[in-house]
Amino acid sequence: MNIVLKSFSKISSISKAFFSLGRYARFKFGSAMLLIIAALAFTSMLAPPTYERWYYYQKDLPPQLDINRLDLILGTTTNGRPILWITLNALANSLYIGVLTALIASHIGLLIGLLAGLARGYKESILITMIDSFVSLPGLPLLIVLAMALKQNLSIYFIPLILSVIAWAWPARNVRSITVSVLSRDFIVTSSFSGIRFTGILFYEVLPYVIGWHITNFINTIIWAIGMETALAIFGLSILSKDTLGTMIYWALNYNALFRGLWWWLLPPVLLLILIFVSLYMISVSISTYLNPRLRGGSGR
Amino acid sequence: MNEKEMVLEAQNVYGEYTISPTNTVKAVRDVSISISKGEVVGIAGESGCGKSTLVKILYGYLEPPLTAKGNVLIRINNTPPVNILSLNEVYKREKIWWRYMSYIPQNSMNVLNPFMRIGDHFAELLKKHIGLNKEDSYRVAREYVESLGLRKEILKAFPHQLSGGMRQRIVLLLALMLKPSIILADEPTTAVDVVLQKALLMFLLDKQREYGSSLVIVTHDLGVHAMASQRLVVMYAGKVVEEAPTEIIFEDPKHPYSMALIESIPRIGDESPKKGLLGSPPDLRNPPHGCEFHDRCPFAMDICKREPPPKITYEHNHVVRCWLYTKR
Amino acid sequence: MNHPLLTLNRVTKTFRYGILGFKFKAVDNITLTLEDKPHIFTIAGESGSGKTTLAKMILRLLKPDQGKILFKGVDIYILDNITFNRNIQPILQDPYAAFNPMRKVITYLEDTAKNVLGLKDPYNIKERISEVLSYVGLDLSKVAQKYPHEFSGGELQRMAIARALIPSPKLIVADEPVSMLDASLRINIVNLMKKIKDEKGITFIYITHDLATAYYLSDKIAVMFRGTIIEVGDSKKVLSKPLHPYTQILMESLPQVDPKRRSEWSMKRPKLGFHIEEQEFALKGCKFMPRCPYAMSICKNDPPEIDIGGTRVRCWLYK
């Protein structure tokens, strides 16, 4: 029962924090953009099933500003597919991959980081070695190799898994260093003499410091994952049968859209990528600014 | 005290820290003090009283968010006095700082440049102000350093290789190197052990006497003031509450705050129970209207809450700011 | 009362220092006994003396490399956590560091009441907390919602003392509890510690470098220098008539709070060492030899401990 009450007060303090975050201009701007992007992603569900069919519409059409033919507001590809629906779907898929990767990777990172911070002796050394090895792995080359090797199995669920292999290490490192620094502070002594043991110290003393970073890590991982998937896709190493912002660019380049002047095929994915990155970045930065203890009046007179 | 030659005089000085456009901390409020040639003046008070800010203003070290108002007149040699607060940074750096007036900041052990060897610190100073080349400055530095019991090998070391106490000594030496007429020392011995504290204080006083300089010692440690300062200025919440020759303040403190301070210090050989003050200093973002000490003062009267007390002068230049002494 | 309250038996702690891993003994073969009657025992020394390391070992924050620490005859590493926390509590130097800035300070008191004292009923918990808070001069209703930065230094240190009092420990280890407080507030905390010793019968280990408060507060004092206890005995005796040359120099260097005694103070100039700590630690024999005005050739050997009228000194001068 106590835990329910405690989590309730935690939730209310989180929502209080949310509202004070709203004071930051960057946060407002960023979340406004993000909401627009999310709304767009949702509208992808309205796509008519025909949008996947090749040559359903006339090919290579530039944007048609015609109320009757809303499908063609962004033109068509060389395969006669309406770019509007492709873009919206691509947006949804990219976001999906990004969020899924972040969910997996940042939480694995959180767990391992906490363990590495708490461990002592040989267990600590093993975990640190593991984390540092993965951090120093060259990300993109490894992903390229993995993606090439597992080409058949690539799906929208599998790509996040592959990306997580690389993405978990950096959050783990961050979380570990925060854990270690919190555990070296005086109030841990006070806590331990107040009868709080291992799990209690983790939950009540360490976690409040870690959570802030975890949220920032989460958002940054989304950005990273979308970027990585796009990079892989441009190499042709993503799921080419599905639309993501990356595969859109791939196909556009493949069909020489640049040289043929089909700007309406390249512009939407690039623009959306920029918008996603900027909005998520702003949210991430405003959260970490908010969490900066100097602004909170942490421990001072 | 005779009217000796004044070398540094603060007239109605105000100092503020700007936290935000609407919020400022009034750290120093209407302080006037004057320092004569060859005098050792102590500024006493606890954390938040404004003594460190006052010294920064005296030195002219106004780094944002610190702003200052008022006049700080400095008389160099026999030239007419100049207001430090009106000088620009470059002039201060070239002409006044280190040469005529030097400043030993708080926690000075961290003031040394971690990328420069100790010898280079000296060389930089000597080169800039006297124009010595590197060899000569190393030679001068070596002799100088050995006079405080440090070995010449120390010149080759980097600051982080030395202990805090040694770094404190180096900073002291650097400040005294060019024989300045005015030395401002902010808590010069707080972070060192008691034996080193005595050595540093004695060194500081020796040099002060030798050069005929004036010395301002800022510290909350009344023991240091008792042993070093000739005149004591007691500050509280940004204002000077009492000022008198050191012996007189210890014997006959008039302001309730000074009384409480002196009564609260335990002494070796004294077994009597001591009492301290309750409460804490006021928030200087919104300084109180009347006397700033009234909420903690055991003698507080009605008027103390409403009006700031006037200055009352006794013999021996003993000045108090307290309503207790207006009823004669 | 057969067992002494706290026994340190040949306790040693070695640290590594610097890039080359130079080893030195921060605490060197210390043997100390605290009787099981309420008193204030001061461990005095400058920085580098090992007093903080010793305090950490008593609090089980560091493990001695050699030797044992016994609480009432039992090795502290055998005691279970609850028993240990019920009997020994700390007061740390910086009250602002002693509490997590993200937690309300009262939560620590609640935790102590629940976990260490074992109270379960919220009414009992509140009552006990209220009791200790008013004992230290604080009001529960005024402090219940505050975070550490909302307290003044003196108040926060009182909260720390209140927390330590909750399980009614036998021993409180106070590591420089007043050095970060203003002078006028120090004496209040010091008086509080005296009151707690007198009224609650709790023994204090008071770690400090401030000999004046040590004189005022303590019953016994042990002076440490570079890891060894060089003089230990009744505090009024040791501080008025110091036997060991180091203690003598310390007492001479203390500034007198009386301007009339200035000339007396300025008479002797202390001999300064080069302060290369490794060299001092690496010395065989008496570590104070380089700075000792009475150094003899025999000081190259470890000086023995000699009892002079109840005070134990570690110096060849008294052989």
Closest to C212 (Cβ–Cβ): which among B268, B271, B276? B268
Q: How far apart are CA C99 and CA C156, in angstroms?
A: 9
Record: contact B267-C258, CB cut-off 8 A: yes
- In total, chain C counts a number of residues equal to 319
Q: How far apart are CA B114 and CA C85, in angstroms?
A: 43
Q: How far are the Cα atoms of B36, B231, C175, C302 from residue B1, in angstroms, in the given order?
A: 11, 10, 45, 55
Q: Is C193 on the interface with B (CB under 8 A)?
A: no
Closest to C209 (Cβ–Cβ): which among B149, B193, B224? B193
Q: How far apart are CA A132 and CA A123, in angstroms?
A: 14
Tokens in use for A242? Answer: 């599905």
Q: How far apart are CA C265 and CA C244, in angstroms?
A: 19
Q: Is C191 on the interface with A (CB under 8 A)?
A: no
Minimal CA–CA distance to A140: which of A250, A234, A249, A279? A234
Record: contact C262-B226, CB cut-off 8 A: yes
Query: Given this model, what pLDDT does residue C139 score?
Result: 92
pLDDT in tens, C166-183: 999 999 999 999 988 888
Record: contact C255-B198, CB cut-off 8 A: yes
Q: How far are the Cα atoms of B87, B102, B126 from residue B93, in angstroms, in the given order?
A: 10, 11, 14
A189 contacts in C (CB within 8 Å)? 59, 61, 90, 92, 98
Query: Given this model, what pLDDT does residue C301 score?
Result: 85
Query: Is the bond preceding residue B65 a cis peptide, omega within 30 degrees?
Result: yes
C258 contacts in B (CB within 8 Å)? 226, 250, 267
Mean pLDDT of C217-236: 93
Query: Given this model, what pLDDT does residue C15 score?
Result: 86
Q: How far apart are CA B43 and CA B217, in angstroms?
A: 6
How many CA atoms lie less than 13 Å away from B1 in the CB half-sphere?
A: 21
Tokens in use for C201? Answer: 């019968």
Looking at the whole model, is its pTM more than 0.90? Answer: no
Residue B191 has a CB neighbour count (10 Å cut-off) of 18
Q: How far apart are CA C104 and CA C148, in angstroms?
A: 7
Record: contact C274-B246, CB cut-off 8 A: no
Q: What's the CATH code, domain A50-276? A: 1.10.3720.10
B227 contacts in C (CB within 8 Å)? 255-256, 259, 262, 265-266
Question: Which of B134-148, B220-234, C90-104 shows the lowest mean pLDDT across its residues?
Answer: B134-148
> What subunits touch chain A, counting only 3 or more CB pairs under 8 A?
C
Residue C62 has a CB neighbour count (10 Å cut-off) of 17
* Burial (CB count <10 Å: 0-12, 13-18, 19+), residue A77: buried
Tokens in use for A262? Answer: 């089909």
Query: Given this model, what pLDDT does residue B130 score?
Result: 79
Mean pLDDT of B174-180: 88
Mean pLDDT of C98-120: 92
Q: Quick check: helix, strand or coil at residue A254?
A: helix
Record: contact B268-C254, CB cut-off 8 A: yes
CB B15 within 8 A of CB B68: yes
Q: How far are the Cα atoms of A41, A48, A173, A283 from residue A92, in angstroms, in the given order?
A: 5, 15, 30, 19
Tokens in use for B115? Answer: 């990328």
Alpha helices, DSSP H, located in C88-146: 106-111, 122-135, 140-143
CB C256 within 8 A of CB B223: yes
Q: Domain spans of chain A?
A: 50-276
Closest to A205 (Cβ–Cβ): which among C100, C112, C160? C100
Dihedral sign (CA B172, B174, B179, B183): negative
Q: How far apart are CA B265 and CA C154, in angstroms?
A: 16
pLDDT along chain A (301 residues), means of 10: 66 71 76 84 79 79 77 81 87 91 94 90 92 90 86 81 90 93 93 90 88 89 92 84 88 88 89 92 83 48 27
Record: contact A301-C153, CB cut-off 8 A: yes
Q: Domain spans of chain C?
A: 6-318
Q: How far apart are CA B194 and CA C94, in angstroms?
A: 21
Closest to B223 (Cβ–Cβ): which among C252, C257, C266? C257
How wide is the angle at C-alpha B198 spanned by C-alphas B195 and B200, nearest 5°? 110
Closest to B261 (Cβ–Cβ): which among C152, C154, C184? C184
Q: Is B326 on the interface with C (CB under 8 A)?
A: no
Mean of all residue pLDDT scores within chain B: 86
Q: Is A194 on the interface with C (CB under 8 A)?
A: yes
Q: How far apart are CA B56 and CA A266, in angstroms?
A: 60
Query: Given this model, what pLDDT does residue C273 score?
Result: 60
Query: What are B102's strand-pairing partners?
Result: B183
> What subunits touch chain C, counting only 3 or more CB pairs under 8 A?
A, B
A200 contacts in C (CB within 8 Å)? 111
Record: contact C262-B278, CB cut-off 8 A: no
Percent of chain C with pLDDT over 70: 94
3-state SS string for C25-41: EEEEEEEEEECCCCCEE
Question: Which of B27-36, B127-136, C26-35, C140-149 shows the lowest mean pLDDT across its residues?
Answer: B127-136
Supply the Cα-derived Rg of chain C in whole angstroms: 21
Checking DSSP bridges between strand B214-218 and strand C6-17, what pairing results, if any?
A: unpaired
Q: Is C257 on the interface with B (CB under 8 A)?
A: yes
Minimal CA–CA distance to B225: which of A184, C255, A267, C151? C255
Record: contact B195-C253, CB cut-off 8 A: yes
Alpha helices, DSSP H, located in chain C: 51-58, 81-87, 106-111, 122-135, 140-143, 153-165, 183-200, 211-217, 235-240, 245-253, 262-267, 277-282
C112 contacts in A (CB within 8 Å)? 193-195
Query: What are C89's strand-pairing partners?
Result: C172
Helix axes A158-167, A83-118, angle to 10 degrees: 40
User: Cα A217 from chain centroid?
Assistant: 9
DSSP A117-164: HH--THHHHHHHHHHHHHHHS-HHHHHHHHHHHTGGG--TTHHHHHHH
Strands (E), B171-310: 182-186, 214-218, 231-236, 239-245
In the predicted model, is pLDDT for residue C235 greater than 50? yes
In the predicted model, is pLDDT for residue B267 greater than 70? yes
> What subunits touch chain B, counting only 3 or more CB pairs under 8 A?
C
Query: Given this model, what pLDDT does residue C19 score?
Result: 67
Mean of all residue pLDDT scores within chain C: 89
User: Cα C280 from chain centroid?
Assistant: 23
Q: Which of C102, C119, C152 is the best residue to mutate to test the A interface, defined by the most A CB atoms within 10 Å of its own CB?
A: C102
Percent of chain C with pLDDT over 90: 62
In the predicted model, is pLDDT for residue C113 greater than 90? yes
Query: Given this model, what pLDDT does residue B327 score?
Result: 66
* Burial (CB count <10 Å: 0-12, 13-18, 19+), residue C319: exposed
Record: contact B269-C215, CB cut-off 8 A: yes
Record: contact C46-B195, CB cut-off 8 A: yes
C160 contacts in A (CB within 8 Å)? 190
Q: How many CB pairs under 8 A join B and C?
A: 134
Q: Is C159 on the interface with A (CB under 8 A)?
A: no
ipTM of the prediction: 0.89
Quickly state the pLDDT bin for C281 (edges 50, 70, 90).
low
DSSP C204-217: EEEEES-HHHHHHH
How many CA atoms lie less than 13 Å away from A136 in the CB half-sphere?
A: 5
Closest to B195 (Cβ–Cβ): which among C236, C259, C270? C270
Query: Given this model, what pLDDT does residue A72 score?
Result: 79
**Range 209-248 of B in CB contact (< 8 A) with C:** 220-224, 226-227, 246-247
CB C38 within 8 A of CB C203: yes
Q: How far apart are CA B272 and CA C16, in angstroms?
A: 45
* Maximum distance among all Cα pairs of chain C, rounded to whole angstroms: 68
Query: What are B215's strand-pairing partners?
Result: B40, B183
C240 contacts in B (CB within 8 Å)? 268-269
Tokens in use for A185? Answer: 């502070």
**Range 115-174 of C in CB contact (< 8 A) with B:** 152-155
Q: Tokens 């134990």 appear where?
A: C312
How many CA atoms lie less than 13 Å away from A229 in the CB half-sphere?
A: 39
Q: How far apart are CA C135 and CA B12, in angstroms?
A: 45
Record: contact A301-C149, CB cut-off 8 A: yes
Checking DSSP bridges between strand C305-308 and strand B231-236, what pairing results, if any?
A: unpaired
- Residue A14 — φ and ψ, nearest 5°? -65, -40
Query: Given this model, what pLDDT does residue C79 score?
Result: 93
Residue B254 has a CB neighbour count (10 Å cut-off) of 20
How many CA atoms lie less than 13 Å away from B143 in the CB half-sphere?
A: 6
- Residue B83 — φ and ψ, nearest 5°? -85, 115
Q: How far apart are CA B91 and CA B101, in angstroms?
A: 13
Tokens in use for C101? Answer: 């800035």
Q: Within chain C, how many helices (H) and strands (E) appear? A: 12, 12
Record: contact A187-C98, CB cut-off 8 A: yes
Q: Which fold has domain C6-318?
A: Rossmann fold (3.40.50)
Helix then strand then coil, in percent of chain C rounded to 5, is: 40, 25, 40
Query: Given this model, what pLDDT does residue C13 score?
Result: 93
Minimal CA–CA distance to B216: which of B3, B1, B4, B9? B9
Please list, in sequence order, all residues whose beta carbon lies within 8 angstroms of the beta carbon of residue B21, skipping any fewer than 6 positions away: none
Checking DSSP bridges between strand B66-74 and strand B6-20, what pairing results, if any?
A: antiparallel
